[in-house]
């Protein structure tokens, strides 16, 4: 799938989200400003993957709907995972294999808004490394793009000032092509937590990933010991 086709498919998904009564191929082609043949081809591909829902009203008349309308909660979550993976590949196609750049994208996202948003939410709380563990988990749970995400935290018994944050139902969904989603998360976590505890900083690493057959994605967050670094 190339960038162009993922962008067009993303446009189609977005459009159908707002049109629960269904649209014909021509209507969709017109609204996304694409020729009818390409539109029809993308629609068939999306329907084949169950990302959208197709009803054939006759040999030449088809209507397309957002798939999630008829889905239960689990199916809807699965749909959201696929939706965000598609979105991710549309935006970051070039960087899908470059984990370093993915991390920088996450850091940028944190700097350009996300960290301010959280810092504001927790304005009245005195934030330091010792009390951010559960706030970090809460921030992940509130903003993660799919429902019923659980972010578990546990102190790291091996290193002082260090904890694990484990994300159940990560949208990488164990698909190695989307490991960059987890690296973006690394950058986001670092950017947001750094802001929480500024001027101190943390180091964030993904230590277990669904992409390596672990049951969840697990991040290790450790405060950078400025004193030790200086010596």
Q: How far is the CB of 135 from Zn ion (least distance, A)?
A: 21
Which residues are CB-neighbours of 178 under 8 A, at least 6 positions away?
A: 85, 88, 89, 96, 171, 172, 211
12 in contact with Zn ion (CB under 5 A)? no
Residues 40, 60: Cα–Cα separation, whole Å = 12
Kindly tell me which of 90 and 182 has the beta carbon lying closer to Zn ion. Answer: 182
**Near Zn ion in 206-225, by CB under 5 A:** 209, 217
Kindly tell me which of 104 and 208 has the beta carbon lying closer to Zn ion. Answer: 208
Binding mask 95-134 for Zn ion (x = CB under 5 A): ----------------------------------------
182 in contact with Zn ion (CB under 5 A)? yes
Kindly tell me which of 153 and 172 has the beta carbon lying closer to Zn ion. Answer: 172
188 in contact with Zn ion (CB under 5 A)? no
Q: How far is the CB of 163 from Zn ion (least distance, A)?
A: 17
Residues 80, 84: Cα–Cα separation, whole Å = 6
Query: What is the enclosing helix (H) or strand (E) of 162?
Result: strand 162-167
Q: Which of 86, 165, 172, 192: binder of Zn ion (CB under 5 A)?
A: 172
Question: What is the end-to-end Cα distance of the chain in Å, rounded?
Answer: 50
The answer to whether 105 and 94 have CB atoms below 8 angstroms apart is no
The span of 34-42, 143-151, 157-165, 169-177 binding Zn ion (CB under 5 A) equals 169-177
Kindly tell me which of 5 and 216 has the beta carbon lying closer to Zn ion. Answer: 216
Kindly tell me which of 39 and 185 has the beta carbon lying closer to Zn ion. Answer: 185
Residues 231, 222: Cα–Cα separation, whole Å = 18
For Zn ion, how many residues bind (rule: CB under 5 A)?
4
Query: CA–CA distance from 47 to each of 29, 40, 56, 127 (Å)?
Result: 16, 10, 12, 47
Query: What is the enclosing helix (H) or strand (E) of 186?
Result: helix 179-197
Contacts with Zn ion, residue ranges (CB under 5 A): 172, 182, 209, 217
């Amino acid at each position: 799938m190339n960038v162009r086709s993922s962008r067009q498919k993303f446009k189609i998904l977005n459009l159908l989200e707002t049109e629960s009564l269904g649209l014909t191929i021509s209507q969709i082609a017109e609204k996304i400003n694409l020729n009818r043949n390409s539109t029809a081809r993308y629609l068939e591909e999306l329907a084949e993957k169950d990302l959208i829902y197709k009803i054939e009203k006759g040999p030449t008349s088809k209507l397309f709907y957002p798939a999630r309308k008829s889905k239960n909660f689990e199916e809807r979550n699965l749909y959201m995972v696929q939706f965000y993976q598609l979105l991710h590949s549309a935006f970051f196609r070039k960087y899908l294999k470059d984990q370093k750049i993915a991390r920088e994208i996450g850091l940028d996202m944190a700097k350009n808004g996300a960290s301010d948003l959280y810092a504001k939410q927790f304005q009245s709380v005195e934030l330091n490394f010792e009390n951010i563990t559960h706030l970090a988990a809460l921030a992940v749970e509130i903003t993660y793009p799919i429902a019923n995400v659980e972010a578990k935290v546990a102190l790291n018994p091996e290193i002082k000032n260090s904890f694990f944050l484990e994300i159940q139902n990560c949208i990488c969904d164990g698909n190695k092509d989307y490991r960059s989603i987890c690296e973006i998360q690394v950058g986001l976590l670092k950017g947001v937590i750094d802001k929480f505890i500024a001027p101190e900083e943390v180091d964030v690493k993904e230590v277990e990933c669904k992409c390596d057959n672990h049951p969840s994605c697990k991040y290790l967050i450790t405060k950078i010991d400025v004193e030790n670094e200086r010596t």
